[in-house]
Chain A
Amino acid sequence: MKSFTYTKADSLPAASDAAATAGTRIIAGGTTMVDLMKIGVIGPDALVDITGLDALDGYEVTADQLRFGALSKMGTVGADAQVVEACPALSESLWKAASPQLRNAATLGGNILQHTRCPYFRDTAYAQCNKRTPGSGCAALSGGETTLHAILGGSSACVAMYPGDFAQALIAFDAVVETRGPGGTRTIPFADLHLLPADTPQTETVLEPGEIVTAIVVPIIPAMANSTYLKARDRESYAFASASAAVGIEMDGETVRDARIALGGVASVPWRAKAAEDSLKGKPLTEEAAREAGRIAFEDAEPLEGSAYKIALGADVVAGALMEVKSRIGGQN
């Protein structure tokens, strides 16, 4: 690992001011950053440790919202009974991610900003990666291995997949993030946080230099109570999603009043499937309707050859998640 200087921040303004310097990065849980520093993908000159900023830690669940400090740990929040009750999809997206050891260290703020697991991004033996080295090309698009790549939201410069799970639950339920930068505080809709790769895949979010995520807020809506996160992966546990879906349903008698569907493992950014949601509204939640929603969720997919399997798999995951929620609603009656 390349040498760097280390500072422990004693205030949020000081941290954001320091982090605005080129070559300086914020560190909290470190589970992704230390890994990427070891393999030479990133090599900061300076790290600013924000784990001592207690105001960023802790979380609360009220009647109106879930509010997570950015330093809240994935493991703690994922296992919290209040979070499970308020929104099963949020809890499941956390405890189905990573391993217990990683979840004990990883923070929610870091989780939503994690880098892609694209093998070409992670392997510096490949010169071509527009995300790692802007302008160098894309090894995946140049005839490389493509089984792990995005089939939604990719560009001619980058087809790297956004790897997270929690983000799908956040985008499905209209979360917002609160930030503090050198210029002050602001609130960003989660759906606006991540940028499509387009021609600049190295720029992954709208965050300005030095801007630090301080909290994640999820306003409570009825569809959250009947929600789930279904994750299909190569092995039963501790793997990134091949395809996943966060779904939530609000019923009005026998018909769907509100539907929320977000997709993981298939897109370049956290992905809300609004057309699929709309296809369900006002109709009974049948298996046929669920399968149609799954098909619609992927009708704009543009897969490379190796990742074409994700269309059918993703449609099945969406349908399966919807039927799981239906069975849970049924179980309550």
Chain B
Amino acid sequence: MSKVPPDLRRPGVSRRGFLQGSSVVAGSLGMAVGAAQAQEAPASADARTITLTVNGKARHLSVEPRTTLVEALRDTLGLTGTKIGCNQGQCGACTVLLDGTRVNSCLTLAVMAEGSEVVTVEGLADPTGDLHPMQTAFAENDAFQCGYCTPGQILSAIACIDEGHATDAAEIREYMSGNLCRCGAYLNIVAAVEQVRDAQKG
């Protein structure tokens, strides 16, 4: 039997859904509503509307010049999968793919990402809900403990293989070094990367 309380098993009332629903914009409400609410948010004198393609969908959002990309994703678009850890580009929790390359979204000004394509952890599973192989590999290898760093780790792990930097464990560690985690899951993260790498070779 599942130990999850019944009310949290109901579709649409997960803890995550509840938290998203209580934030400024609920991602599940769809982009039209999200964009409308973003426009209605109190805007500073220099706020401007930018367009991003986020996980394959065009999103129009109002940001100040000082809004970072991770703040735009989380606070304006309600995509809370991307985490803010150190907020100084050191821990990698905020890693997203920007026009196909991984960057720290906490050090990226959203206005400077105008017109770009962004992939976050929410964009990895396919439309049927099947997880990305790296998500599966992280689960199978227990490549997380508290899980806070996991979305950034997964995006970085995907990039690590795409960049051709997953030849051996030493190289994987080097190219995962921008994702700092203190929980000691690195062995299992390396194993997850190796599993996906080998499957792709297969």
**Which residues of A pack against B, CB within 8 Å?**
1-6, 27, 30-31, 34-35, 37-39, 47, 49, 51, 75, 79, 98-102, 104-105, 236-238
Q: Are A6 and B65 in contact (CB under 8 A)?
A: yes
Q: Are A4 and B66 in contact (CB under 8 A)?
A: yes
Q: How far is the CA of A102 from the CA of B88 in the complex (A)?
A: 11
**Which residues of B pack against A, CB within 8 Å?**
44, 46, 64-66, 68, 87-89, 92, 95, 98, 101-104, 106-109, 111-112, 156, 159-160, 163, 165, 173-175, 177-178, 180
Main secondary structure of the interface of B (DSSP, over half): mixed
Q: Are A30 and B112 in contact (CB under 8 A)?
A: yes
Q: Are B107 and A31 in contact (CB under 8 A)?
A: yes
Chain A residues with CB below 8 A from B46, complex form:
3, 5-6
Q: Are A34 and B178 in contact (CB under 8 A)?
A: no
Q: Which of B101, B106, B173, B177 contacts A99 (CB 8 A)?
A: B177
Q: How far is the CA of A27 from the CA of B112 in the complex (A)?
A: 10
Chain B residues with CB below 8 A from A102, complex form:
89, 104, 107, 178
By beta carbon, the residue of chain B nearest A39 is B88
Q: Are A101 and B89 in contact (CB under 8 A)?
A: yes
Q: Are A34 and B68 in contact (CB under 8 A)?
A: yes
Given A38-B88, A100-B178, A238-B177: A4 touches B107 (CB 8 Å cut-off):
no
Q: How far is the CA of A135 from the CA of B177 in the complex (A)?
A: 39
Q: Which of A38, A51, A98, A236 contacts B112 (CB 8 A)?
A: A51
Chain A residues with CB below 8 A from B66, complex form:
1-4, 37
Q: Which of A3, A75, A105, A238 contacts B108 (CB 8 A)?
A: A105
By beta carbon, the residue of chain A nearest B159 is A100
Q: Which of B101, B106, B109 contacts A104 (CB 8 A)?
A: B101
Given A1-B66, A101-B156: A34 touches B177 (CB 8 Å cut-off):
no
Q: How far is the CA of A236 from the CA of B171 in the complex (A)?
A: 12
